[in-house]
Structure 1
Amino acid sequence: MRSSFAKSIYVGAAVLGLAGLSAVTTTTTASAKSSAAKVTSSKALTTDATTRNVTFNGTHALYTKPGTVKGAKVVATTTTLKRLAASKNGQDNVRAYRVATTNRGSVYYKVVTFDRAYRGWIYGGKATDKFAGGIKPFATTTEAKVPSTLNTTSYYTLAKTDASVNDGTTTTYKAPAWSQYKIGRTMKDASAYKTNLLQVSKAATTREGDTWVYVTDVTNGKLTGWVKASALKASAAVPASEGVTINYMDKATGRVVSSHVIPFKAKNPKFVNPTMDIYTDGNAANTELHNNKPAGYSVASGNAWGNSTLAFNATKGSTLVFYVVANAKTAQVPVKLVNMSTNDSTKLYDHLTRDQQKALVAATKAHKNQVVTGTTVSDSTVKDILADAKLTTFTYTVKGVTYKATLSSVAGGTSTGTTSTGTNATNSFAYYNVVKN
């Protein structure tokens, strides 16, 4: 009887024990679920991008989800975030772009580093109208003075352009590099605008400590933007709006051969004496006017100005026509061959093969080698002709003996005219070392 009762109590207790354990387990699970926060609001930040640049305080970690939401995992520890906050690299700048609120009233911001190496949610305090908690506002650049090597009244160009380089020196940027998220160059390749004139208006220092300047492209606006101060070189040129544009027009064809802008002088604003082509500030403008004539052209005789009235009353930003005429050009610049060992001088043309003769004539007809009849043929022009004709070293035959001639030096002379073969004599000489081949 006792034994049977004891068994009954034992079994009953066992059942009650299981039931009690089940009750405890159920209660614990419900408590865990209720302890996890829930996101009640999540939306994109729409304020100005520059106001959403932040940095880490190092007090809270970065998570895959708002930190108190179930399943949130650590993306970056507070140690890592402190390192990013102390960085001197613009790629470690941070942009906040989304905000979430939990049912407990906590605010979390979703952020990303500019290089996108770290992205996640971080505690942001209790209000959605300001950054707090683990982040705070951050200025990615600071206002700076324009470097003393530059000024806001002069004109500059890019010192170099290279599409393969992205270091802040070969093109302009919409913002200093890595100072705004996903904001980069105004263009990748600025080589087509390497002569564009730029004016500096302000400067800024980046997280790296580099000085950037904002430039306005006064030529056509293509390069307006930010560039490192070290990327600029001074230019003597001025934009059309700040000078007088001279259109050099071929008087025979009416075609504008080239243009050049001469600086406008406020205290002496007028051109005078059109036949002398003198600007009232003296010889400087006169020299610049003539030095920038298109190659191969001379000032037209008589009144070289297209409109004397305009020339007498030139104003800043105006355009004037200045007539030029194409120079009479020689078809060939004959050269004498001098055998340095014997000092014999003969016509170079006569010692050449038919192909070499054609090459010499073609070289003398090349635009860059042409000269005006009666003027001096420079040493460099003689060298260019021989190089273009591949006659710096060549072989020739005299009375069955073949010689090898190697150019040693040249001496330019006066061009007296042309012939169909290019053999007429001038005072130009080419001195060769000649040996039997």
Structure 2
Amino acid sequence: MQVNLKKSLYLGLAALTFASVAGATTASATNVNAASHHVTKTTKKHTKKVTKKRAKPVTFKVTKSLDQSLVYKSTGKNAIFTKPGGVKNNKLKVSKSDMGSKANSTSSNDLFMAYQEVRTSKGVHYYKVVSFDKKVRGYVYVKGVQKIDNPTTQAAKPSNTTGYVTTNNVYNLPVGYKFGANSNIKNFNGINFSADKFTVNDAVTVYGGDTYYKVTDQNNSLISGWVKSADFTNNMPNSVINSQNAAQSAANAIHVNYVSNANLGSTVMTKSLNPANLQNNGTYNAKDVVSSINNSLKGTGYNSINSSSITDRGNYLNDNSVINKGENLTVIVTPQNNRQAVKYTVSQLQNPNSFNQSLASISNNQLNPVNMSQRTYDSLFKGNDNDTFNYNNLKSQMLSYGQPMYQLTSNDASHRYTYTFDANLTETNAANPKLFNVNNQLISNATFADINSQSMNNGIDGLNLIYTVKDNQTGQQQNTPVNGSGIVTLFNK
């Protein structure tokens, strides 16, 4: 059995070996056949390089020049660009949103003039446009703007077609009628026609609602054109009236040379004056000339004068003298040196809630004094007769809310009464006729002499300061004088 086992093992190994060889042989044969098959089927390949065709750049050219008298407005559908769509380096100029705003605008500045139609190499049409205000210029698709058939409509002329033009902006055409009309101002070489009368010949309303009149100067038919209706008036303008008055005033003036009496060769100032009451023969009475000169001396530091201080061509005047308009006069003036305190009265308003209001002066022994320095008192209350009295300065430092004289108190032991300054009543012509005019406006050159010359009933002299009075115990207005009347001295200095 041992012999047979060895033989069997040998045969097995031999068989395995054969099988392996056979397998190897078969595999080799298969590879040879496969290689042989590959050689017979394989052909030589050539790689073909494909080149992509480049698109041609978009170009454009002008196909039509358009009528520049036509007016267009935005439709809001398209934006404006620096070049037509698709053209290289094109940039946005006005967005579609902004063009939508211009479509709804009523301003002629947002209208357009289309002066070229262009066509791109792709067959798309654009307009080249410019806005009426010349701030926008560029290309827009043709449906981005539309023509306005009637940019102006006929308007009614004024009922009175004769009047004045208040502007120098006279146009060849109404602004908004077509492009360039707003810059087409006529040049009349500085001619002043403000005082000339004009006739309205025509009237139109432009896009946006402004009405223009076509006017012609009645003095010179060459001066004509279109103006806004607001710049035409049937009344002579105030500027013209003032100018004419100034010219007339200059023609009627007297010319005054003021000379100091300390040095008769020394001129201290010169003025042209227009006294009141010019006579039909072109002369003034001496009293009106003296009054005008004295008014001019207020606040200058010089005293008032009389007719004997005036010379006309070397001759001294008197109260019966007559002076021609345009005359040159010399006035001898004297510097002031007579400072004194302004007089004033503290008055109480009686019956403030009735139609029977009246004033009563408050006596000196009723009020507590107000403390102030001598310097403050001198600066506010003292001056020369012909010095200008500064009421506003006094009011701000003494009479305004919180200032020393705004509220006063009675000097009885309980300080029963409070006196409160009433500016509305004080600052009237009725209360202070030398300080406030009939329109209750402050007379700016009122002097200390003017204020001191005021004298009214009930012992009220000088500056009249009006107060309302409250009874502190009852909280009610005191309608009748607390105690007597008299001139008040308030200050401890």
What TM-score comes out, normalization by structure 1 length? Answer: 0.49
